[in-house]
Chain A
Amino acid sequence: MNARLLPYMLILPVTLFLCLFFLYPFVLVAKQAFTTGAGFTLDNFREVVSYWKFPISLKNTLLLAAAVVPIQLALSLLMATMVTRMEKGRDLVLYVWTIPLGISDLAAGLIWLAIFEQSGFLNSMMHGMGIVDKPANLLTFQNPGLVFVAIALAEIWRATAIMLVILVAGIGLIPKEYYEAAEVFGASPWKRFVRITLPMLRPSLQTALVLRVIMAFEVFAVVAALGGTLFPVLMGETYAYQFDLLNSGAAAAMALVILAISIAATLVILRALRVPKGATI
């Protein structure tokens, strides 16, 4: 076998699989988005973008991502550094911290609903301690801030671990001698983190951020469980077009809008965290 062709032959099965089950459906969705009965058109896009709920759901989605992702980044970096420093029980801690990963996002939303709703833990506790007179539903249209906080909390709780595992693996790849060299040459622990860990972690940070940001733009079940219609997001609107309004053309257009935002964010992240040629470990 020709050695130059061999790699391509080896990835052929995967490529075929991807084409069949990802590319083909994607083309179908795109076709749906760009056609009505009468051939090519942008009507579907015009329709979804001009709908009154579009700006607010776009704003909500971006706002949620902007609030949640940086907190998760900081948290996962902190947790990863702590786990890496541990000598004993490190695996156990990592397992416990990653448990939320194994819970579906709807279930996660319901767990947090159980905390915040009228007869939930939070109300019972506050009532029991005499902070409030009687249990009240906290997640109402009168408390938009609290709805947002609840959703953000649930998202942070649910999806920080995915970044954590990527960063723990990444930190594990940084040779110990770089830290020793930095220490000998006078870098404090914080300087070592900023000057060694962060820059050498860029490939892992890219992966973690891209994954997390894309997930953030697709947020749906947690919002549905906690906010219902109080907090419209892009994915929720897509769902509504498809299953409530039975307008699959508009749903497809929404899906493509989300895809475009995701691609744009991915490009920004890759660009911002790129490693110059020759500067890899």
Chain B
Amino acid sequence: MAEIQIKNVAKKFGAYQALHDINLTIADQEFMVLLGASGCGKTTLLRIICGLETATEGEVWIGGRRVDHLAPKDRGIAMVFQNYAVFPHLTVFENIGFGLRMQKLPDDEVRRRVERVASLMHIEMLLKRYSGELSGGQRQRVAVARALAMEPDVILMDEPLSNLDALLRMEMRAELKGVLAESKTTAVYVTHDQVEAMSMADRISVMHQGEIVQAASPIEVYRNPAAEFVASFIGNPPMNFLRAEAAGDGKWSVAGNVIDGPRYGKSPLQFAIRPEDMQPAGDGLEAKVKIVEPLGAHLLVTCEVNGTLFRAVLDSDMEVKRGDMLTLAPQTDRVRWFDPETTLAVA
């Protein structure tokens, strides 16, 4: 049992506040992805959980035990580093067995465990090699195997797939997820690749400028973004935004259309809709087509609505060309609303 609790954690580097009051609970055996743009504090948070960095404030609990004063080795964790950190002077075998040797396990136990995780990661034929003789993907597997060999309660991974090519990344994604589910390990996985996050996570924590903006299941994060940042960060292309003026009684005027919306005391609001949640129809938003990009399965159309950039994903059979006028009807149950002052979602 290893639930991770992060309570009011803040981190300052000198005067720079890298993390603000982070609160997060990661359930036992959960696969939690920390997702955010470069520099938002993902690595810093991971290193605080790991113990390589000390929080300026707050507490870290793992498995019901407060650990923020403990050394990394006493926290029941293992880590996969962003650039592998596979020791170059040791063979693959000794790399995977490094942590076990530090625990002074007997030789045959080390051998048994190393061979088990090596076969799990499909690197049993590489055990005698040095890291200089491995490809990036193989080194990656060694780094994961080294962490798994510890049989940790918690495994921390910092962008472990970022240096791989697209195909290998896709392969490793599925493999890693399977291996971790089988080993019943709680996983915290850092990435800035939203496809990776969506496909692997049980839950995603979206981070922005040192704060966790939303922590929810991938589909929830995608469908019901808690803030404008999440809406514009997740999804490719991201959500469209339009200014909405109150038209009384839960009605909002969006680019000349009157649309049902929330009853809300303030005006204006931001009207938001995903590009794939619109259909050409007789009645709707007037859009002037700027760019048409055929993507095979779909047609990505970039238009202008009321002077604002607006994207729609349409059926690839549609005949659209630059300069056309489209009328796009938003799917009403997919429309979301945000308060531009707080940037938070309005129910």
Seen from chain A, the residues whose Cβ lies within 8 Å of a Cβ on chain B are 175, 177-178, 180-187, 191, 195-196, 199-200, 202, 275-281
Question: Which one of A200, A202, A279, A280 has the greatest number of beta carbons of chain B within 10 Å?
Answer: A279
**Cβ-defined contact, B99 with A278, below 8 A:** no
* Residue B166 lies at the interface, judged by CB distance under 8 Å to chain A: no
Contact A184 B88, CB 8 Å, known A278-B132, A279-B130, A279-B132: no
Q: What B residues does A180 contact at CB under 8 A?
A: 52, 81, 85
Q: What B residues does A181 contact at CB under 8 A?
A: 79, 81, 85, 87
**Cβ-defined contact, A184 with B52, below 8 A:** yes
Contact A278 B87, CB 8 Å, known A180-B52, A183-B73: no
Q: What B residues does A202 contact at CB under 8 A?
A: 89
Contact A280 B85, CB 8 Å, known A184-B72, A185-B78, A186-B103: no
Q: Whose C-beta in chain A lies nearest to the C-beta of B77? A: A184
Contact A177 B73, CB 8 Å, known A185-B102, A279-B132: no
* Residue B310 lies at the interface, judged by CB distance under 8 Å to chain A: no
**Cβ-defined contact, B85 with A178, below 8 A:** yes
Q: State A182–B87 Cα separation when bound (angstroms).
A: 9
* Residue B98 lies at the interface, judged by CB distance under 8 Å to chain A: yes
A185 to chain B, nearest CB (A): 4
**Cβ-defined contact, A184 with B87, below 8 A:** no
Q: State A191–B73 Cα separation when bound (angstroms).
A: 13
Q: Whose C-beta in chain A lies nearest to the C-beta of B156? A: A184
Q: State A191–B87 Cα separation when bound (angstroms).
A: 14
* Residue B33 lies at the interface, judged by CB distance under 8 Å to chain A: no
**Cβ-defined contact, B81 with A280, below 8 A:** no
**Cβ-defined contact, A177 with B81, below 8 A:** yes
Q: What A residues does B146 contact at CB under 8 A?
A: 185
Seen from chain B, the residues whose Cβ lies within 8 Å of a Cβ on chain A are 50-52, 71-73, 77-79, 81, 83, 85, 87-90, 98-99, 102-103, 129-133, 146, 150
A280 to chain B, nearest CB (A): 6
Q: State A277–B51 Cα separation when bound (angstroms).
A: 34
Q: Whose C-beta in chain B lies nearest to the C-beta of A199? A: B89
**Cβ-defined contact, B73 with A184, below 8 A:** yes
Q: Whose C-beta in chain B lies nearest to the C-beta of A191? A: B102
Q: State A67–B79 Cα separation when bound (angstroms).
A: 44
**Cβ-defined contact, A280 with B50, below 8 A:** no
**Cβ-defined contact, A280 with B102, below 8 A:** no
Question: Which one of A184, A202, A275 has the greatest number of beta carbons of chain B within 10 Å?
Answer: A184
What are 24 A-B contacts defined by CB distance under 8 Å? Answer: A178-B87, A180-B81, A180-B85, A182-B87, A182-B98, A183-B71, A184-B52, A184-B77, A185-B73, A185-B99, A185-B102, A185-B146, A186-B102, A187-B98, A195-B98, A196-B87, A200-B89, A275-B89, A276-B130, A277-B130, A278-B131, A278-B132, A279-B130, A280-B132
B70 to chain A, nearest CB (A): 12
Question: Which one of B88, B98, B129, B146 has the greatest number of beta carbons of chain A within 10 Å?
Answer: B88
**Cβ-defined contact, A186 with B99, below 8 A:** yes
Contact of B79 among A175, A184, A279 (CB under 8 A): A184
B55 to chain A, nearest CB (A): 17
Q: What A residues does B77 contact at CB under 8 A?
A: 184
Q: What B residues does A184 contact at CB under 8 A?
A: 50-52, 72-73, 77-79
Q: Whose C-beta in chain A lies nearest to the C-beta of B74? A: A186
Q: What B residues does A175 contact at CB under 8 A?
A: 85
**Cβ-defined contact, A200 with B88, below 8 A:** yes
Q: What A residues does B150 contact at CB under 8 A?
A: 185
Q: State A175–B86 Cα separation when bound (angstroms).
A: 11
Taking A185-B98, A280-B132 as known contacts, 13 extra A-B pairs with beta carbons closer than 8 A to each other, sorted by chain A number, are A175-B85, A177-B81, A178-B87, A181-B81, A181-B85, A183-B52, A184-B50, A185-B78, A185-B102, A186-B99, A186-B103, A196-B87, A278-B131
Question: Which one of B50, B71, B83, B87 has the greatest number of beta carbons of chain A within 10 Å?
Answer: B87
B229 to chain A, nearest CB (A): 30
Q: What B residues does A278 contact at CB under 8 A?
A: 129-133
Q: What A residues does B133 contact at CB under 8 A?
A: 278
Q: What A residues does B51 contact at CB under 8 A?
A: 184
Q: Whose C-beta in chain B lies nearest to the C-beta of A185? A: B99
> What are the 4 closest A-B residue pairs judged by CB atoms, nearest first?
A185-B99, A186-B102, A278-B130, A186-B73
Contact A280 B99, CB 8 Å, known A181-B79, A184-B52, A184-B73: no
Q: State A178–B88 Cα separation when bound (angstroms).
A: 9
A197 to chain B, nearest CB (A): 11
Contact A279 B99, CB 8 Å, known A180-B52, A180-B81: no
Q: Whose C-beta in chain B lies nearest to the C-beta of A176? A: B85
Contact of B88 among A182, A183, A195, A281 (CB under 8 A): A281
Q: State A177–B159 Cα separation when bound (angstroms).
A: 14
Q: State A87–B5 Cα separation when bound (angstroms).
A: 33
Q: State A177–B52 Cα separation when bound (angstroms).
A: 10
Q: State A42–B133 Cα separation when bound (angstroms).
A: 50
Q: Whose C-beta in chain B lies nearest to the C-beta of A196? A: B87
Q: What B residues does A277 contact at CB under 8 A?
A: 130, 132
Q: What A residues does B52 contact at CB under 8 A?
A: 180, 183-184
**Cβ-defined contact, B85 with A177, below 8 A:** yes
Q: What A residues does B103 contact at CB under 8 A?
A: 186
Q: What A residues does B102 contact at CB under 8 A?
A: 185-187, 191
